[in-house]
Structure 1
Amino acid sequence: MPTHPCTLAEPRVSAALTRMFEAAARDDETAARLWSGPDDRESLTAQELADAAQEIYMPVSADGGRLLYNLIRAIKPANVVEFGTSYGISTLHLAAAVRDNGTGQVITTEMSRTKAASARDTFAATGLDDVITVLEGNALQTLAALRQPVDFLFLDGWKDLCLPVLQLLEPHLAPGTLVVADDVDLPSLGPYLDYVRDTANGYHGVTFPVEDGLEISCRL
């Protein structure tokens, strides 16, 4: 049994989340320093973007993280897959829920070597590294080797890759599986939203109005 009723309240975990959320609050300032506008990014590959943005946290919101924790606690999935670790804020919420459920694992992906290394250090420091596997590299390649069912899917990497990642993993999604995507307000998530909001593609969902919005879709 966990020493705390909620691992999110465990001092090492709460301290790590506080530190990272405080750093993430400077994301706009950091982004402005790194590039002047969208034109700076249009010609970059996904890997080049990841490397260029390695100082930017781009986290799920605090309320979004708590929602993810509650969903995982309620569903008790065996395999949680996350696209887009970044520095690990959302991953900690997922892993805390898995720990408190007493069963399951989190498989998360990150393209930036710098972010993946930092996230691994954080996971070890919080004592949650035993329930987290970090797949470093292009998620379309690292997740292609996945063989187990995906019981919960969280999409928070590059928005234009969310739909390809979902379609890659669809053979692993059983009916009733929840798929959650962050940042519904971003135009680049448009193709993904068009896809999951069309029931002909096998999903039924709702937009949850927290920060930039979470799209919660149920696999039909």
Structure 2
Amino acid sequence: MTTHTHTLAEPRVRSALTRMFEAATRDDEAAARVRSVRPHDRGALTSQELADANREIYMPISADGGKLLYNLVRATRPVNVVEFGTSYGISTLHLAAAVRDNGSGHVITTEMNTAKAAAARDTFTATGLDDAITLLEGNALQTLAALRQPVDFLFLDGWKDLCLPVLRLLEPHLAPGTLVVADDVDLPALAPYLDHVRDTDNGYHSVTFPVEDGLEISCRL
């Protein structure tokens, strides 16, 4: 009988994901606390202030969305996976597990909030996936500007109004056939991004995958 490697089922990884998904069920309560003490209008805060105000909120990809990410990375076997928006690392673990099971590749992920970045690093170490992940702390438009290698798979799940600027920043690194995935297609702030990738004149062929708040899967033409 052949034994198949499946890092998502490894006890340390499974335990971490279970813990974080459970914590994320309290996101609405945490968000209510934020709204009670900070301006409600997104435009009233800088991206850094917004990240710091929401430091208790997990904002995770859905469980099925994570499984889809894992499958996409397993199937496409990217060398360099880039993620915009680590938060506490739920989606990052799915990406890194796929890279580990492929036997090659690396995940570069970004997080603006210092507390979330520290917690994510602790989780990556506890799951044994830290050697497959590089976490860039700070504004992604600055940290990713220094990127020199090709981007073979891109996942966008940070602030939705920054997804298009991050994509434009990284477009020179995207080869034809590269997959770009964005989470939360139902959020109005993602509309400019969706307009961009759904227009083939901009060099993408895009499809919406109906899971939770929706994933937009776009292939670079």
Matches within 5 A, 1:1-220: 5-36=5-36, 39-220=40-221
* Offset at residue 41 of structure 1 (A): 3.5
SS of structure 1 residue aligned to 2:43 = coil
User: Distance in 2 between the 1:26 and 1:183 partners?
Assistant: 18
* Offset at residue 42 of structure 1 (A): 2.8
RMSD: 1.2
User: Distance in 1 between the 2:59 and 2:157 partners?
Assistant: 9
* CA-to-aligned-CA distance 1:9-64 (integer Å, 9 cap, x gap): 00000000000000001101110111148735431000000000000000000000
Q: Runs in 1 of length 4+ with deviation above 6 angstroms?
A: none
User: Distance in 2 between the 1:24 and 1:117 partners?
Assistant: 17
User: Distance in 2 between the 1:4 and 1:194 partners?
Assistant: 40
User: Distance in 1 between the 2:207 and 2:172 partners?
Assistant: 22
SS of structure 1 residue aligned to 2:5 = coil
SS of structure 1 residue aligned to 2:104 = coil
Aligned residues: 218
SS of structure 1 residue aligned to 2:45 = coil
* Offset at residue 195 of structure 1 (A): 0.5
SS of structure 2 residue aligned to 1:82 = strand
Give the structure-1-normalised TM-score: 0.97
User: Distance in 2 between the 1:38 and 1:186 partners?
Assistant: 19
The answer on whether the counterparts of 1:184 and 1:215 sit within 8 Å (CA) in structure 2 is: yes
Question: Residues 147 and 21 from structure 1, CA distance in 2 versus in 1: closer, same or farther, beyond 3 angstroms?
Answer: same
- Name the amino acid aligned to 1:94: L
- Name the amino acid aligned to 1:121: D
Unaligned runs of 5+ in 1: none
SS of structure 2 residue aligned to 1:35 = helix
Question: Residues 24 and 4 from structure 1, CA distance in 2 versus in 1: closer, same or farther, beyond 3 angstroms?
Answer: farther
The answer on whether the counterparts of 2:39 and 2:45 sit within 8 Å (CA) in structure 1 is: no
Question: Residues 176 and 139 from structure 1, CA distance in 2 versus in 1: closer, same or farther, beyond 3 angstroms?
Answer: same
Identity %: 83
Give the structure-2-normalised TM-score: 0.96
Unaligned runs of 5+ in 2: none
- Name the amino acid aligned to 2:98: A
The answer on whether the counterparts of 1:4 and 1:10 sit within 8 Å (CA) in structure 2 is: no
SS of structure 2 residue aligned to 1:148 = coil
